[in-house]
Amino acid sequence: MPPKDVDLSFALGLPPERAIAYFKAKGYAITFDWREMLAEAHAKAFTVAKAMKLDVLQAIREETQRALDQGLTLSQFRKSLEPRLKSLGWWGKQEMADPLTGEVKKVQLGSPRRLKTIYQTNLQTAYMAGRYREQKANADNQPYWQYVAVMDARTRPAHRVLNGRVFHHGDPLWGSMYPPNGWNCRCRVRAMDGEHVASKGLTVEDSNGRMELVEVPVGRDLRPTTAAVYTTPEGAKVRTDPGWAYNPGQQWPLFDKAGHLPDCTGASFAEKDGKTGCIRIVAGQPDWKSQGRQDLRTVAASQRQDAPQLLPRAATQAEARDMMARALGLDAKPLVTVQTPVGKLFMRHELLAHMVEKTEHGRERYANFILPTFENPFEVYLTEYEDGFRERYLGLFKGKNDLMVVARVNQDGSLFWNMMQADDKSMNKQRVGKLLHGK
């Protein structure tokens, strides 16, 4: 029997930058009942059932993020989070009105058991989403995937049936049954090439025409929830847990698969500026006004940072890249970790070339502004683009121009990013998306 206090993050080789990247790409969602959220929404938004207040959800998310970043054990996670939840009144059994029906119910809020479920589910889902993207990126070399279950007394029958079965990486089965496909699922996927499949005498199954979605009644009220069912060639029906008929890794925002398409940079990133070959912001997102934020033109000097030294324009792209590296601390090491108000970011030296590839922009002049913008931003927005989400950090400085750094988290957790500088009036147009942090 494994120990009760399983260090899941250590066992899975955390901190995996892919897991951190997946988790950071999530936004927020508040629900009374986990069944209210579609599976696809779960992959893009962090939610805990019956965490109806943002401060409660924020506390849970922060501690779960810290568990990912630092590889905390379950006991460390509980020791830190439990007192925070108790101080917020989110603990034990309490009466709460269901916002859908108005019915007052006695519900279980925080408890040791719930914290264990939150810890295991979020860390395992984040890790496996990263594994999926990693295996998908290498699918040309290892196109066949084998389902691997932990075969012991705790293995559920459906996972026992799937154990050892092989499917092509593009098979529909992986859209809903790539693990985890249930609460506390311990399964994984092994990628293989054709030679390995042949040498082991394995059969590649095809789930086309054998997959279906079904409605399963769950809970005391028997409210229907979606599950996926695979009918094996032998006639056995294998079902996911209700509410788990999705693949978190497929929902992880995919960024510019062709590589290096720029973000559109019209008068506003949110406008269709007529350019081709650039990535636009999704229209209709909340702006700064709708979220109660002040006009930048009214922000006092006391709320602004002292402007760092503006550097001279570089003569060549190589010189510009070197200037950027020195300002960011990437001249001495290939990776720099930056702590921001909303989490950690990872900057890699090899991605600097993108920042200065257009010499006419002269971005290297503002290299000294980047770290202060990340570390002490006036605002941070989570903004949806056509290909996924960006964190947008707005730095306010004394002087003529402000800086916005648009950070796109890559599959390995590093940043592929753009930046722009503008005056207060022009920068107001960039303030769209969900406000994650604001002074």
Beta-carbon contacts of 236 under 8 Å, excluding residues fewer than 6 positions away, are: 161
pLDDT tens profile 17-67: 444 444 444 443 434 443 444 344 444 444 455 455 556 766 777 787 777
* Number of Cα atoms under 13 Å in the Cβ half of residue 294: 10
Quick one: CA torsion of 292, 298, 302, 303, rounded to 10 degrees? 30
- Burial tier of 262 (Cβ tally within 10 Å: 0-12, 13-18, 19+): middle
CB 143 within 8 A of CB 169: yes
* Helix locations, 232-385, DSSP H: 248-251, 317-328, 352-355, 367-375
Angle at 262 between CA 384 and CA 44, to 5 degrees: 20
Which helix or strand (DSSP H or E) is residue 332 part of? none
Cis check: omega of the bond before 15, within 30 degrees of 0: yes
d(CA 27, CA 44): 6
Stretches where the chain sits below pLDDT 50 are 1-47, 50, 252-259, 267-275, 411-412
pLDDT of residue 276: 54
d(CA 73, CA 270): 42
| b/e map 225-235, b = 16+ CB within 10 Å | bbbbbbeeeee
Radius of gyration of the chain (CA): 24
**Token representation of residue 77:** 């996670």
The length of the chain in residues reads 439
pLDDT of residue 298: 93
pLDDT of residue 229: 94
| Closest to 294 in 3D by CA, of 97, 128, 438, 105 | 438
CB 341 within 8 A of CB 437: yes
pLDDT of residue 198: 96
pLDDT tens profile 184-221: 788 999 999 999 999 999 999 999 999 998 888 776 66
pLDDT of residue 1: 28
User: What's the whole-model pTM score?
Assistant: 0.52
| Closest to 174 in 3D by CA, of 141, 205, 203, 220 | 205
pLDDT of residue 11: 27
Backbone dihedral region for residue 252 (phi beyond 0: left; psi -120 to 50: alpha; all else: beta): beta
* Helix locations, 252-366, DSSP H: 317-328, 352-355
